[in-house]
Amino acid sequence: MGVPCVRVPREEGERTRQRLAEADLVGDGYDITVEEGRLYVPVSDASAVPDGFDVVEFDAPVREGQTMPADLLGFEPSYERLGELVIIDEDDPERAQQIADAIVESDLPVEGVLNRASKIKGTERVRDWDVLAGKTTTVVHREYGCAFELDLAEVYFSPRLATERHRVVEQVEAGEHAFDMFAGVGPFVVPFAERGATCVGTDINGVAIEYLRKNAERNGVADRVTAIHGDVREVAGDYEGWADRIVMNLPHSADEFLDTAVALAGDDCTIHYYDIQPDTDSFGPGERAIRAAAEPTYEVTVETRRRVRSYAPGEHNVVLDARLRR
């Protein structure tokens, strides 16, 4: 049976394996294989593999002695890894429990299995979970070398955005001022600070802010991170004209916060603006909203328009990197 693998020339194998391991993406249970001069590294989540890698289905051998959930179930279940937790998305409770039992019984290193029990909801963008195995919804997840502790029952977090976050992180320069308006547990702020940026993260969810502080400590960047609990519109007054970079990851309503973003922006500021729009006009609404808020005080250049992931049939989660120059 084919499993998703990153395919690279053999001589790039170790470097690639390390990069995937840092992102917690190397698949358990299957062997890394060499065939015709190319190396196949099994991955746990093909959609999270950074752009530029060649992801293919490959018949990688099951690691000797490993029992995988599919061996016990007789079918391949779909699941996501978040640290030592496994997340599934099953409507049928019986099937969900059967999959959870098989995951626990398998050789996967797992502390618990959670099933999605609601959509993401409310201002804090948190969902309900059914705990099908284990006792906790709290986990330590690793992403590109940073560790994030979080409680899925209390805060928003999606491992599927790892590649996109990394794309943004790679643009950050030491010494810059970065403001994350909807910071969550810090998946932008912490790696920004690791690159030497001075960061401010705000969130209306007090539990997320507590985790952001813990995660800044855990990753050794607390001296460059200010975490503020509150509505960003009320906090922004203290940081007018401060930011060289702003992250706005609140896709359904970011447009309502653009006046605040413009108030935060310094003379030359890049805004990473996340949106959910139909495929018929993925970027137009965001670009028009940014221009309406920033022009003519700023000259606006949209430097990147990118589809991050599919959200629903005919709709994508997209990002615009917009540069504002006064």
**Site mask for ligand SAM (CB under 6 A), range 217-246, x = bound:** --------------xx--------------
Interface region with ligand SAM, contact rule CB under 6 A, candidates 52-60, 119-127, 238-246, 261-269? 119-127
Shortest gap between Cβ of 146 and ligand SAM (angstroms)? 12
Select from 77, 112, 159, 184 the one that contacts ligand SAM (CB under 6 A): 184
**Lookup result for tokens 């690639």:** 16
Question: Between 252 and 325, whose beta carbon lies closer to ligand SAM?
Answer: 252
Measured from the CB atom, the residue of 18 and 123 that comes closer to ligand SAM is 123
Q: Which residue number, 247 or 269, has a Cβ lying nearer to ligand SAM?
A: 247
- Provide DSSP, 85-130: EEEE--SSHHHHHHHHHHHHHSSS--SEEEEE-S--BTTTTB--EE
Applying CB under 6 A, the span of 44-52, 117-125, 190-198, 209-217 interacting with ligand SAM comes to: 117-125
Q: Which of 28, 31, 105, 124 binds ligand SAM (CB under 6 A)?
A: 124
Kindly report whether the peptide bond that precedes residue 296 is cis, defined as omega within 30 degrees of 0: yes
In the chain, which residue ranges form alpha helices assigned H by DSSP? Answer: 13-22, 69-73, 93-105, 162-169, 189-194, 206-218, 232-235, 258-264, 284-294
Pairwise CA distance, residues 275 & 286, whole Å: 7
When asked if residue 259 is in the footprint of ligand SAM (CB under 6 A), the reply is: no
Say whether residue 156 binds ligand SAM (CB under 6 A): yes
157 binds ligand SAM (CB under 6 A): yes
Name the 3-class secondary structure at 247: strand
Interface with ligand SAM includes 80 (CB under 6 A)?
A: no
The CA–CA distances, whole Å, from 170 to 124, 164, 196, 197 equal 27, 10, 12, 12
Q: Does 182 bind ligand SAM (CB under 6 A)?
A: yes
Q: Is the distance from CB of 37 to CB of 151 less than 8 angstroms?
A: no
Residues 160 and 226 sit within 8 Å (Cβ to Cβ): no
DSSP state of 225: E
Q: Which stretch binds ligand SAM (CB under 6 A): 72-80, 106-114, 192-200, 201-209?
A: 201-209
- Taking the least distance from each CB to ligand SAM, the nearer of 180 and 244 is 180
Distance CA 317, CA 128 (A): 22
By CB under 6 A, tell whether 82 contacts ligand SAM.
Answer: no
Which H or E element spans position 178?
A: strand 177-180
CB 32, min distance to ligand SAM, A: 30
Nearest C-alpha neighbor of 197 from the set 180, 214, 172: 172
> Could you tell me how many residues of this chain bind ligand SAM (CB under 6 A)?
20
Chain residues in the site for ligand SAM (CB under 6 A) = 123-125, 156-157, 161, 182-184, 187-188, 202-205, 208, 231-232, 249-250
